[in-house]
Structure 1
């Protein structure tokens, strides 16, 4: 997803694309001095480090005009605050990136040929985060589809059907527990897997999230805990269900298991 940043000393053009939702990046207009132009490439996806390390090495070896410096450790927000964001970045397009976009910190990429290839329905998903008047600051490179993965072999062995309702889900979980099988593998050592996983699934499966925020915006400063639409009244039941699942149906070592552990265990 192309994105670009602006600083007090120079304006940088961003090119972005997210791995999970969209990739965000910035292409610097650095110039001057002798030798190749140096571009700092920031990557936020640790699982992609080996691939991009090799790709950057091949690119640097192929020409002498640009030298890409691979950066996997700097803090994106700190870079913006210092007026020194990365020149190019492969980043998840999430609420962190949206803050920079809605404040006009990213440049307009609408003149790039890639902008004409984005499907309108995909661009609509990106625009749910944030937009800036008159600019197309994000070009989604790939989009993640949310889904629940289950072990078909276990379901067949236990005679289980894929649940379609909350009550059916609980019944399946109880039957798995009775058979000595842990229903869900949780990875709470990485807290983001709660917000991006458990919370998203329980709330997204019960609430029209886009409509919810539209109603909140209509209420404006009149919204409160007793409003017909509020975080307290609208999200309480899904969050309670999430809490029930994560307390009764997960692996006992969930607090010490990380995202990578979960992938390996399921595989």
Structure 2
């Protein structure tokens, strides 16, 4: 509750501050050399080398703008503190998640729908940002840059040696798991001691078994999680039959290490785990396929989310200079610098190489058969990861019913103000028609 109240206080201060100051702040001032300073704050400290290279190349090729990109640790905390002080950067680089939703709801971002670059974004990622809006807004408020993908990593050499085929339906998947188990190999490694890892298969199942706007539909009062998440919970529990004994005794690092050493044929986790796995076994031949959650392959959806996107602050004093920075960032060569360093999937349409490890996901990526991580809509205070772990540990006959009932009640508890806002908006729209 405390964290929720803190952010509500932040939102209130932001709203009041912007009304009183006319969006004063923002550091785009002229430098001593006459150049306009544009500051970008990124939440990706692991990408600092890529951003240093991009910053250097930009400054070498622009006489009128100086670009500074910082990637501090605890960037979200720093940004929220700066916002309270009305010390706004010009552009922020964040993920497509609940933080983006909160900042957008506080009216911090400029509408960039008029930029040519927006027209080159894969539609699936524009749709994901739209679904992150608490209340529908006209316009575009972020430029999606790079995405990741989550499904099931698999040991390609083991698959080839044993003649195992990548499954495309739930039945094929469970049949494969049975076959692998009978061969004496562990089908899956889970590593659920770290509760956040429970969200990896949960999200990958949920995008195929529920609508992408499920959370918003719940907020509008059109459905409940008890009505929609049953199949997700059921298939989540089914994974335990094919995993290591007591998966709650092993964490993320343990699972990465075990998979790297060939102790399991598959690992239901996102592509973000590949560097960790490769640090243990650099030569491992890793593939990744979309979680086959459905009875028909055509119903499957790739779990892909926006890992990084850029938003121009409404308070930015030199927006034309900021737009010039976005134009440079969205140049194919610049995007490739980032991809070469960090990997991932370009959110921009174009001839960008898809990593070999994601080759099996290519048809989904190219055909926009993708949906965002459901947990990007979950409030952190709700601790859904711990809820899932508790559900899986519960062996009682009504464990699933209790879990889904708690999901509904906790959702109302932690989203009370948001639900009221959404339903008030609905009522207003109805009154206007």
Q: What TM-score results when the alignment is normalised by the length of structure 2?
A: 0.45
Higher helix residue share: 2
Match of 2:231 in 1: 237
Q: 1:190 to 1:138 in 2, by over 3 A?
A: farther
Q: 1:96 to 1:126 in 2, by over 3 A?
A: same
Deviation at 1:114, TM superposition (A): 1.7
Q: 1:85 to 1:185 in 2, by over 3 A?
A: farther
Higher strand residue share: 2
**Residue among 137, 156, 169 paired with 2:141:** 137
Deviation at 1:149, TM superposition (A): 4.0
Q: 1:107 to 1:198 in 2, by over 3 A?
A: same
CA contact 1:160–1:172 (8 Å) conserved in 2: yes
2:69 matches 1:66: no
Q: Deviations over 1:75-113 (max 9, x none)?
A: 325523423344333322222212211332211112323
Q: 2:120, 2:143 → 1: CA distance?
A: 9
CA contact 2:27–2:38 (8 Å) conserved in 1: no
Q: 1:244 to 1:49 in 2, by over 3 A?
A: farther
Deviation at 1:192, TM superposition (A): 4.5
Q: Deviations over 1:15-57 (max 9, x none)?
A: xxxxxxxxxxxxx661156456554432233442221123224
Q: 1:97 to 1:191 in 2, by over 3 A?
A: farther
2:251 matches 1:255: yes
Match of 1:17 in 2: none
**Residue among 130, 152, 157 paired with 1:153:** 157
Q: 1:246 to 1:12 in 2, by over 3 A?
A: farther
Q: 1:176 to 1:167 in 2, by over 3 A?
A: same
Report SS of the residue matched to 2:40.
Answer: strand
Number of residues of Structure 1 aligned to a counterpart in Structure 2? 239
Q: Deviations over 1:165-208 (max 9, x none)?
A: 4343233223323334332344657654432x211112122223
Report which structure shows greater RCO (CA 8 Å, sep ≥6): 2
Match of 2:104 in 1: 101
Q: 2:24, 2:117 → 1: CA distance?
A: 18
Deviation at 1:68, TM superposition (A): 1.2
Deviation at 1:231, TM superposition (A): 1.3
Deviation at 1:213, TM superposition (A): 4.3
Q: 1:173 to 1:54 in 2, by over 3 A?
A: same
Match of 1:201 in 2: 204
Unaligned runs of 5+ in 1: 14-27, 221-228
Unaligned runs of 5+ in 2: 1-13, 257-272, 287-433
Q: Deviations over 1:217-251 (max 9, x none)?
A: 5536xxxxxxxx42133213312422442574159
Q: 1:50, 1:176 → 2: CA distance?
A: 41
Q: 1:215 to 1:234 in 2, by over 3 A?
A: same
CA contact 1:30–1:37 (8 Å) conserved in 2: yes
CA contact 2:192–2:198 (8 Å) conserved in 1: yes
Q: 1:95, 1:136 → 2: CA distance?
A: 17
Q: CA RMSD in A?
A: 3.8
Report SS of the residue matched to 2:251.
Answer: helix
Q: What are the within-5 Å matches in structure 2 for residues 18-57 of structure 1? A: 30-32=28-30, 34=32, 38-57=37-56
CA contact 1:40–1:87 (8 Å) conserved in 2: yes
